[in-house]
Amino acid sequence: MPVEPFWVSSDDWHTAGEPFRIVSELPPHCASTTAISAKGLTVSQRRKDIVNTPHHPVDLLRKALCHEPRGHADMYGGFIVPPDDAGAHFGVMFWHKDGFSTACGHGTIALGCWAIASGLVKAPIDGKCEVVIDVPSGRVVAEVDMKAGKPDQVHFINVPSYQVAAGLTARAGGNDKTVTLDLAWGGATYAYVDVAQLNLHVLPTHHDEFVRLGREIKADLGDQGRHNDLELYGVCFYEHFLDSAEVIEQRNVVVFADGQIDRSPCGSATAARVALLLAQGKLIPGKRFIHRSIIDTLFTATIDSSAPSPTSFPACIPRVTGLAHLTGKHQFHVDEADPTYPGFLFR
Measured CA to CA, the distance from residue 232 to residue 147 in angstroms comes to 39
Residue 30 a catalytic site member: no
Catalytic residue among 104, 113, 129, 236: 104
- Residues in contact with 166: Cβ distance below 8 Å, sequence separation at least 6, in sequence order: 182, 183, 279, 313
Q: Residue 170: name the closest of 225, 212, 211 by CA.
A: 225
Query: Do 36 and 30 touch, CB atoms closer than 8 A?
Result: yes
Residue 123's φ and ψ, nearest 5 degrees, are -125, 150
104, amino acid identity: C
Query: Do 15 and 110 touch, CB atoms closer than 8 A?
Result: yes
Beta-bridge partners for 226: none
Q: What would the DSSP string read from start to end of 19-84? A: EEEEE-S--HHHHTSHHHH-TT--HHHHHHHHHTSTT-HHHHHHHHHHSBTTS-TT-EEEEEE--S
**Catalytic positions:** 104
